[in-house]
Amino acid sequence: LDKTIETYHTFSPSPNTCTSFIKQRIDAPLTNIWPFVRDFANPKRYKSFIKSCKIRAGDGEVIGSIRDVAIISGLPASSSIERLEMLDDEKHILSFKILGGDHRLQNYCSVTSVCEFEKESEEETRSFVNTLVKTNLGKLEKLAMASLKGN
């Protein structure tokens, strides 16, 4: 993970540009996440602000593919032209650059990567104990209800 971040999410600072980095934890296997991220032709599947998208060059998988994205109203933008820079199904990285369009971002480059985490042992311990205690409490409820009817 750290290596991926260092290699693909770090940029040498150029003057007058800024960078940002966001992490999102998703409690689902990588196989349920990566298909959405890798689908350069259909960004609308998980991006909320997109109205529509058309592939203008390439097939959406070959590097250099270009998409025309239409943005929903209410934002200071109406369109974006984006070029696929990297699509790595082994490392699970997708990257694109904005070539143009009607918006205020200049020189924008996006890198999205997906990586799987070990379930933390604290979480595993908690969920193990919770299963046992919930089973016991379920039995306690049944006992109490039976005793209620018996009275």
CB 103 within 8 A of CB 123: no
Q: What is the DSSP letter of 126?
A: H
Which position among 33, 103, 109, 111 is part of the footprint of ligand A8S (CB under 6 A)?
103
- Under rule CB under 6 A, residue 113 binds ligand A8S: no
Q: Is 77 in the site for ligand A8S (CB under 6 A)?
A: yes
Q: Does 114 bind ligand A8S (CB under 6 A)?
A: no
CA distance to 51, 52, 78, 144, per residue, from 74 (Å):
12, 15, 9, 57
Alpha-carbon span 28 to 31, nearest angstrom: 8
Alpha-carbon distances of 10 from 19, 32, 48, 94, rounded to whole Å: 9, 26, 26, 14
Cα–Cα distance, 115 to 141 (Å, whole number): 41
Residue of 37, 53, 71, 87 that binds ligand A8S (CB under 6 A): 71
The site for ligand A8S, by CB under 6 A, has a size of 12
Candidate segments 20-28, 68-76, 115-123, 130-138, binder of ligand A8S by CB under 6 A = 68-76
Task: Kindly provide the residue ranges of all beta strands, DSSP E only, lying in the chain, ordered along the sequence.
Answer: 50-57, 66-71, 79-88, 93-100, 109-113
**C-beta of 148: minimal distance to ligand A8S in Å?**
57
Among 80, 83, 92, 94, binds ligand A8S (CB under 6 A): 80
Interaction residues for ligand A8S, span 22-51 (CB under 6 A): 47, 49
The binding site for ligand A8S (CB under 6 A) comprises 47, 49, 71, 75-77, 80, 98, 103-105, 110
